[in-house]
Amino acid sequence: MSLRIIIVLAVLTGVTGSPSGTTSPAADAADATAHPNSVVEETEISGWQKVSVEEDVMATGELNPDHYPAQRAAKVVQHYLNTQYGSPFRLFGLHRVHSGTAEDAADSGRKYQLEISVQEIINNTTEKCSAEVLFPGAGEQRSSQVQVSCEELLKISTKAQEEALFQKYQMNQSLLSAQNLPDSYGHIEPENQPLWHLGIVASSFVMLNESTENTLYNMAQVASIAQLATDNQQLKFDCRVLLHEMVSQEIIHWKLLFTWSPADGVKVLQMEKLPHCHDCKVPPNTN
């Protein structure tokens, strides 16, 4: 028996002002009668798009690339790439799902095989990649396992930019801080863009850890971020982020403690889910 959930919502998933690409099925695929687990998703870094989701739990075999199960697994790949390779100058987003299959993997969970296009958002470069996502079985306390091949995207070097930013932040006479990235008008000051990007990368650690076959997470806002004093070769940040869980429509508040350096990337030291945020709102699109 299928469980059908219909959602119409607005999504903010990345860097204001730079498109991440879209996953846009043909108009006739938006018809809910076409398939019981359809998803019509247009994810745009610069703002909000309406999303309609109809979910059929535990789809198996060949998947419609525009439908919810394939899109959900592909989104996990995006979070994984950000945790491994993300930086203030390198962010990854899902551009398109080309094909996918799902199967039960013995007692270890369910395995998704995907062909997707991934975009490195800041440099606006896209590559077709192969990926495998293994969601843990019921009751297993571990995050999803991901393998992905995106060789050309990972060749993009941002080390020079990262080193310059790292030295700038280290030499500042006062510790950095910012709030509401983006603000209630969807705006981010240019000098705060690197902090916003760091918040996105750090939040991917939470979204990767929390993602299941029944969730679909997007970054909504860095509510606050503050640089902490440190005497080693790492910059340390205390950060509060708002995540949008699209299936439940919840805005979830997390507290993160993380470090960043060009040599070691972003490392999340602590993750804490905070009490439900009744007044939290995702900033509107200003385009």
pTM of the predicted structure, to 2 decimals: 0.79
Provide the CATH topology of domain 6-154.
Answer: Nuclear Transport Factor 2; Chain: A, (3.10.450)
Amino acid making up residue 270: Q
Tell me, what's the pLDDT at 282? Answer: 65
3-state helix, strand, coil in the chain (%, to 5): 20, 40, 40
Question: What's the rounded Cα separation, in Å, for the pair 22 and 45?
Answer: 9
Residue 257: closest CA among 194, 196, 188, 203: 203
Q: What is the mean pLDDT of residues 249-266?
A: 96
Q: Which of 92, 85, 93 is nearest to 265 (CA)?
A: 85
Using 50, 70 and 90 to split pLDDT, how confident is the model at 51? very low
The reported pLDDT for the residue numbered 278 is 67
* pLDDT of 218 over the 70 cut: yes
Mean pLDDT is highest, among 45-54, 139-148, 233-242, for 233-242
What is the percent of the chain where pLDDT is above 90?
63
Give the range among 40-44, 94-98, 173-177, 255-259 with minimum mean pLDDT.
Answer: 40-44
CA triplet 137, 140, 143: central angle to 5 degrees?
90
Residue 242, beta-bridge partner list: 221, 253
List 228's β-bridge partners, or say none: 236
pLDDT 10s digits, 267-287? 999 999 998 766 666 666 533
Tens digit of pLDDT for each residue in 5-39? 333 333 333 333 333 333 333 333 333 333 333 33
What local confidence, expressed as pLDDT, does residue 187 receive?
A: 94
Backbone angles phi, psi at 70, to 5 degrees: -65, -40
| CA distance to 6, 14, 119, 146, 219, per residue, from 46 (Å) | 24, 7, 14, 27, 12
As annotated, the residues of the chain forming the CATH 3.10.450.10 domain(s) are: 6-154, 159-273
Gap between the Cα atoms of 186 and 11, Å rounded: 12
Residue 12: count of CB within 10 angstroms of its CB: 24
Is pLDDT above 90 for 164? yes
Q: What percent of the chain has pLDDT over 70?
A: 76
pLDDT for residue 59? 73
Strands 250-261 and 265-273: antiparallel
Exposure string for 146-161, b = 16+ CB within 10 A, e = fewer: bebebeebbeeebeeb
Using alpha carbons, list the distances in angstroms from residue 265 to 181, 235, 259.
21, 10, 8
Region for 61 from its dihedrals, namely left if φ exceeds 0, alpha if ψ lies in -120 to 50, beta otherwise: left
CA-CA distance, 233 to 225, in Å (whole number)? 19
Task: Inform me whether the pLDDT recorded for 129 exceeds 80.
Answer: yes
Which of the listed CATH numbers 3.30.420.10, 3.10.450.10, 3.40.1160.10, 3.40.430.10 matches domain 159-273?
3.10.450.10
E strands along 183-276, which residues?
Answer: 217-228, 235-245, 250-261, 265-273
